[in-house]
Amino acid sequence: MPLFWRANIQPGETVLIIGATGTSGKLAVAAARQAGAGRIVAAGRRQSVLDALAVDATVDLSLEGIELQQAFTAAAGPQGYDVVVDYIWGPATEALLATFNNHDLSSHAGGLGIRLVNVGSMAGPTISLPAAVLRSTQLQILGSGTGNFPPIPQLKTIVADILALAAEGKISVDTQEHAFADIAEAWDINKKSDTRSVIRIPRLSAVKEQK
């Protein structure tokens, strides 16, 4: 929904996913690819995961300050970013916004401008936003969450499209099955891994038979 409902992604646009190594970030990369993005940039801290995404460019979020700004600029390509989906907020977002104060990078934006969609705040709840950034580029800052879901008809269409892509194997989530009896162990595994745990709940009839 961040890409389609909030950012209104268009075919051929350049998309940056900040926090691309998590489950949601990986899904966003896949969704951008299915939407026909012309260039996809993934930013995260685990380079091995970024490399596995097979995107056009990556940004190492362990960089700081001017080095991170330069990395964002280099990864953007000649046309700059059209859409940014941000799962972490905080210093990385500030570094990106600093590059938007560079007229050469941001002047390409057309009628839709640069759409930055915040989805999470794992790196911090606040950022510092220089006023000059808003004056020097066509930037829209949006949020994607429970407070701005689309109307029910559009929501049903979006969910149906996502499920269809999943059924076709075009988007996927790494999962691992666990028995209901092992739910405590699975809970701990889920905290330490990007793999999502699927708990098998026995049928009531099977439980009665065991008794």
CATH of 2-167, one of 3.40.50.720, 3.50.50.60, 1.20.1740.10, 3.30.70.20: 3.40.50.720
The structural domains of the chain, with segments of one domain joined by +, span 2-167, 175-210
CA 125/CA 172 separation, integer angstroms:
29
pLDDT classification of 210: cutoffs 50, 70, 90: low
Rg (CA), the chain: 19
pLDDT score recorded for residue 206? 56
Q: Measured between alpha carbons, how far is 180 from 172 in angstroms, rounded to an integer?
A: 23
pTM assigned to the model: 0.82
Provide the mean pLDDT of the chain.
Answer: 87
Confidence of residue 12 (pLDDT cuts 50, 70, 90): very high
- How far apart (Å, rounded) are the C-alpha atoms in residues 167 and 158? 14
Q: Are 18 and 92 in contact (CB under 8 A)?
A: yes
Reported as a single tens digit per residue, the pLDDT across 72-114 is: 999 999 889 999 999 999 999 999 999 987 655 544 555 688 9
What percentage of the chain has pLDDT greater than the value 70?
89
pLDDT tens sequence across 102-148: 655 544 555 688 999 999 999 999 999 999 999 888 899 999 988 88
Is the Cβ–Cβ distance between 80 and 114 less than 8 Å?
Answer: yes
Residue 150, number of CB atoms within 10 A of its CB: 14
Chain segment 141-181, per-residue pLDDT in tens: 999 988 888 889 888 988 888 788 888 887 767 778 888 88
